Amino acid sequence: MKNRTNIYYGVRVLCTPSGCVESRPQALSDTLVVGNGMVQGNHHSPNSFNFTKTLRSALIGSYEERESSGSLRQSYVGVLPFSTDYTGLGVVPDFANVYNDALGQMNDQVRAPIDWTTNAAQASQSASMVQSALKTLAHVRRSVSKLDLWACYLAYQRMRRDPHRSFQRAVREAGNRWLEFQYGWKPLAQDCYNTAVEMGRDFPSLMVCEARAVKVQRSVQSTNLNGIPRTNIQDLSRRVQMKARFRPNTSTAGLLSNFTTLNPATVAWELTPYSFVVDWFVDVGGYMRNLETSLLAQSGFIDGFITESERTEVHSDFSGTFRNSSSGVRATGSGKGSNYFSSLKRTRLTQWPLPRVPTFKADLGSTRLLNAAALIAKEMRVKR
């Protein structure tokens, strides 16, 4: 693969009241820049390699302007003389978070996502949660067995006297129960399950770990070309692939790290109130977990590679008519154009990859939005 730049020319016909002129402007450019040439390697640890490719197409179509009297002012057919530099289409997804997602997947293959130290620090809260659940179940069982109509009648009267307060109380209780499930029961059950799996796990002498993460984003920009409606659509894609060979650490410290964190800072962060809310936007907890796992995995690392690739496609089209109210000039036209950019960077690893500093992200998703609503409901004050 070698560097290249290919230029392709099209046809443009410009007509004015004095006549028509044909020209051959640039219609398409194809550029390839290779950083490191291809060197024969193997599938376990391929050699470093990178390239970028850019494909830019001019706007092609027709465009016409006429005076208020209807006489031709100018017209273009073919390659149009308008800009194809599409800007303002949104922020490009940062590689750091995509990279950390892939690293997190690979780290989970060499170290189970279990943290019994934090669970032990939260033992009193877990015990209170279990006691509350048992008390609620016992109350429900007694009410059902006795068919306590008087208690139902009293609850109905309270709702009737102050429906707003009763509704607030119900919403707050629902929020409490949802957060208790998401950040109490669910992690506890997951740790119990992972512990059972880990205790029966047979560690091989050699592991091949592989992970991949993808981030895609679409931006739509509505603009105009001399008043004619124009739409630019940008599709972004960033991918990170990792692969490494690894010898598991079967020492006492290595086996212990599969069941708990060895970093006091990680425990302190997990015990910080509402730290999970911060992690929604900047994944501090995930970064600390990844950093600890990566440092523990250094001693067993053999070889590997990371491939980071990016692709950006922009498609632009315009169509319609626009009349300038002050000059009376009417513009009519339609056309399409596109830009394409892709890059690939493959790096040969000399150590187990370390996490990158996480960046801000606001992609909450449906589950976190529901958690946020439950958190707001939990903090709701019941009117007295």
Q: How many domains are there within the chain?
A: 1
183: Cβ contacts below 8 Å, ≥ 6 apart: 276
- The sign of the dihedral angle between the CA atoms of 35, 36, 37, 41 is negative
> Span 148-167, mean pLDDT?
61
Residue 70 within any structural domain of the chain:
yes
Q: Is 72 helix (H, G, I), strand (E, B) or coil?
A: strand
Judge whether 211 lies within some domain: yes
Q: Is residue 384 part of a domain?
A: no
Q: Do 215 and 97 touch, CB atoms closer than 8 A?
A: yes
pLDDT of 33 strictly over 90: no
d(C-alpha 371, C-alpha 373), whole Å: 5
Q: What is the pLDDT of residues 53-86, one digit of tens each?
A: 888 889 999 999 999 888 999 999 999 998 776 6
Give the model's pLDDT for residue 85: 63
Q: Would residue 383 count as lying in a domain?
A: no
Rg of the chain taking only CA atoms, in angstroms = 31
Coarse DSSP helix, strand, coil percentages of the chain, rounded to the nearest 5 percent: 40, 35, 25
Mean per-residue pLDDT over the chain, rounded: 80
Say what percent of the chain tops pLDDT 70. 71
8 Å CB contact between 39 and 47: yes
Does residue 144 form part of some domain? Answer: yes
Tell me whether residue 222 is in a domain.
yes
Q: Whole domain around residue 353: which residue ranges?
A: 4-378
pLDDT-derived band at 218 (thresholds 50, 70, 90) equals confident
- Residue 207 belongs to a domain: yes
**pLDDT digits 0-9 by tens, 313-349:** 999 999 999 998 888 899 999 999 988 889 899 989 9
pTM: 0.75
Is residue 53 in a domain? yes
353-374: per-residue pLDDT in tens?
999 998 877 666 677 667 666 6
